[in-house]
Chains A and B, each alone.
Chain A
Amino acid sequence: MADIVIDHVVKDFGTFQALQDVSLVVEDGEFVALLGPSGCGKTTLLRIIAGLETQTAGRVVIGGRDVSGLTPRKRGLAMVFQNYAVFPHMTVFENVAFGLRMQKASTADVKRKVERAAALLHIDSYLDRYPAKLSGGQRQRVAVARALAVEPAVLLMDEPLSNLDALLRLEMRTELKAVLREAGTTTIYVTHDQTEAMGLADRIAVMYGGKIEQIGSPLEIYATPATRFVGGFIGSPPMNFIKVRCEQGIVRIGNITLPCPAGCEDMELGLRGEDAMIAADGSGIPFDVRVVEPMGSHLLLTGSINGQLARIVAPPTATINAGERVALKADPSRLTWIDSNTGRAVGRA
């Protein structure tokens, strides 16, 4: 059992609060992705879990054991550093073997496990080279192999594939997922690449400004964002937000009305570009198309709704010209209503 409980963790750097009351539970064997923009506190949270940084308040519990006061090496986890931290004075082999050597593994064991980790990350042909002679992406894979070689119960990865080309990243991503699932490794995976998070994670925790905005499965995060930030951060194109006024449970846009949840007047209607369909009968949300970009798999339409910028995805075969006004329809259950004042979704359980 190696579940991770992060319990109301706060981290202050002087007067700057890098983490504001972060709580997160990662089940045993679960793969959680920490997703968020640069500087939102992902690395800080990871370093606190690892014990490299001491939290200002709160607890970290791993496998039922409160590790808040323990040194990193007593916490029994492995980590891939954002800047690799591959030892420059050791060969790739010795780098990958480092954790095993610290565990006093037998020579045969070390060799076997290093070779397996190296093969998985396609670095087996550089084992006797020094890191200075490797490319950034190769060095990064050495860092991942070093963490995988010890077969940890808990694995923390800080943007471990950020430096790989798209093709290799996709391949590594799939292999990593398979290996970690098979080993039942509890994983926290930091990334600011949303497709990576969506593809890999059992659950995604979206962070913003030192807080966790939402935790949920990739689908939940995508379909039902809890805040304006999450909706705008996840998805490509990001969710469209259209300012509306809700009066007596009704919102008017163009010539149609939509039922809206009660609770406030100033709202934003969150509409995913993919959820909008072009109504054949011409009745719906009016959308003035300004630019049409054929993307192959779809058409990306940029234009405005009620004078506000919006991006809509249309089927590749649709015939729509710039300057045209079309009507949009959407399944009401796929709409998100945001309270303009708080930025949080309303009308959802």
Chain B
Amino acid sequence: MIAKRPGGLRRAILSERERPMPARTSWIPYALIAPSVAFLGALFIIPLVQTVWLSFSAGEGVSLANYQRMANDLNFGLAIRNTFLLTLVVVPLQVILALVMATMVSKLDKGRDMVLWVLTIPLGVSDLAAGLAWLSILQNTGYLNSALYALGVIPGPVGWLSQETPWTLFFGIVLAEMWRATAIVLVILIAGLQLIPKEFSEAAEIFGASPWTRFRKITLPLLKPSLQSALILRTVLAFEVFAVVYALGGRNFPVLAGEAYTWQNENQNYGVAAAYAVLIMAISLAATAVYLRALRTRPEQLP
């Protein structure tokens, strides 16, 4: 359209484009991101540097003493094992459950928003409160035992969360974590599902794909970017798990963040606590890097 018009307008547009950007505008982008940089610097980078510094300083100069002390601690191996075990069990279960729920919710015609709203209520509950809620269910005098007793299944209170029953304790924590944090995965996946036009699935159906095949060959690959976000978010949070574990098991089930807390508050050893914090961050960063690579979507494969 422009090309057809002779003379003035066309020339005006061209010269507009060719004119170099005035120098005075060059600082504007920096000014615009300055507040967030300042914010990040004050509340994230400085504490981060401080923590890293703290973890490497034990009395006289830079050393690995804090890390040595951390690694030699009785609970260290347990905390590593428990944290990874919990992450490896909880995250996949949450993703599978969220996928199933997201598929069902996105099929709803009416009341979709209502269902989604109800399903996301646990997100509004703080993790400590969630832990305490599940404690009131699972503790010796809790609702579960009362119910089982009333039904005549058990003769008296049974300890589910004690040191002697590590597997039921573990299972209880998994349950509480599932209840508390599956919804965040759900929300991300539903948002992702909404971005996939329904024609792709319809075309696959026309050409003979069963519902399961459609899910595997169409929905899942197209959902990969959302899955990646959800996995990164959930995995990082799972490595930081603390309040729920602390409420249900105390130190019967040591986890990395819990150990950091113990060293900080009970042992008053900030150096070792910082070492734990740095370790958690390193693990999270590594996990994020793995997801970013493994679930990479090449730009040409995006819809």
A73 in contact with B200 (CB, 8 Å) = no
A77 in contact with B206 (CB, 8 Å) = yes
**A103→B205 CA distance, assembly (Å):** 12
Number of interface residues of A (CB under 8 A): 23
Name the B residues within 8 Å of A81 (CB-CB): 199, 202-203
Considering the complex, give the chain A residue whose CB is closest to the CB of B303.
Answer: A88
Number of interface residues of B (CB under 8 A): 23
B199 in contact with A85 (CB, 8 Å) = yes
B206 in contact with A78 (CB, 8 Å) = yes
Considering the complex, give the chain B residue whose CB is closest to the CB of A86.
Answer: B203
**Residue A72, interface by CB 8 Å:** yes
**Residue A79, interface by CB 8 Å:** yes
A99 in contact with B301 (CB, 8 Å) = no
**Residue B68, interface by CB 8 Å:** no
A150 in contact with B207 (CB, 8 Å) = yes
Select B222's contact among A52, A88, A98, beta carbons within 8 Å.
Answer: A88
Q: Mark B250-266, 1 if CB is under 8 A from A, else 0.
A: 00000000000000000
Q: Shortest beta-carbon distance, A104 to chain B, in Å?
A: 10
**A133→B302 CA distance, assembly (Å):** 11
Name the B residues within 8 Å of A71 (CB-CB): 205
Name the A residues within 8 Å of B101 (CB-CB): none
**A221→B303 CA distance, assembly (Å):** 41
Name the B residues within 8 Å of A87 (CB-CB): 200, 203-204, 218
A72 in contact with B301 (CB, 8 Å) = no
Considering the complex, give the chain A residue whose CB is closest to the CB of B220.
Answer: A89
A132 in contact with B199 (CB, 8 Å) = no
Of listed A99, A103, A146, A150, residue having the most chain B CB within 10 A: A99
Of listed A99, A102, A130, A150, residue having the most chain B CB within 10 A: A102
B218 in contact with A99 (CB, 8 Å) = no
B213 in contact with A102 (CB, 8 Å) = yes
Residues A89 and B210 in contact in the complex (CB < 8 Å), given A98-B204, A132-B300: no
Q: Shortest beta-carbon distance, A229 to chain B, in Å?
A: 30
A89 in contact with B301 (CB, 8 Å) = yes
Name the A residues within 8 Å of B301 (CB-CB): 88-89, 130, 132
Name the B residues within 8 Å of A98 (CB-CB): 204, 207, 209
Name the B residues within 8 Å of A103 (CB-CB): 208
Q: Mark A62-99, 1 if CB is under 8 A from B, else 0.
A: 00000000011100011101010101110000000011
Name the A residues within 8 Å of B205 (CB-CB): 52, 71-73
Name B's A-contacting residues (CB within 8 A).
Answer: 197, 199-200, 202-210, 213, 218, 221-222, 297-303
Q: For the complex of A and B, list the 7 residue pairs with the smallest distance between their C-beta atoms, beginning with the closest.
A: A85-B199, A102-B208, A99-B207, A85-B203, A130-B300, A88-B303, A89-B221
26 of the cross-chain contacts (CB-CB < 8 Å) are: A50-B206, A52-B202, A52-B205, A72-B202, A73-B209, A73-B210, A78-B206, A78-B207, A81-B202, A85-B199, A85-B200, A87-B203, A87-B204, A89-B222, A89-B297, A98-B209, A102-B204, A102-B207, A102-B208, A102-B209, A102-B213, A103-B208, A130-B298, A130-B301, A146-B203, A150-B207
Name A's B-contacting residues (CB within 8 A).
Answer: 50, 52, 71-73, 77-79, 81, 83, 85, 87-89, 98-99, 102-103, 130, 132-133, 146, 150
Known contacts A81-B199, A85-B199, A89-B297; can you find 18 more A-B pairs with CB under 8 A?
A72-B205, A73-B207, A73-B208, A73-B209, A78-B206, A81-B203, A83-B197, A85-B197, A85-B200, A87-B204, A88-B200, A88-B222, A88-B301, A89-B222, A99-B208, A132-B300, A132-B303, A146-B207
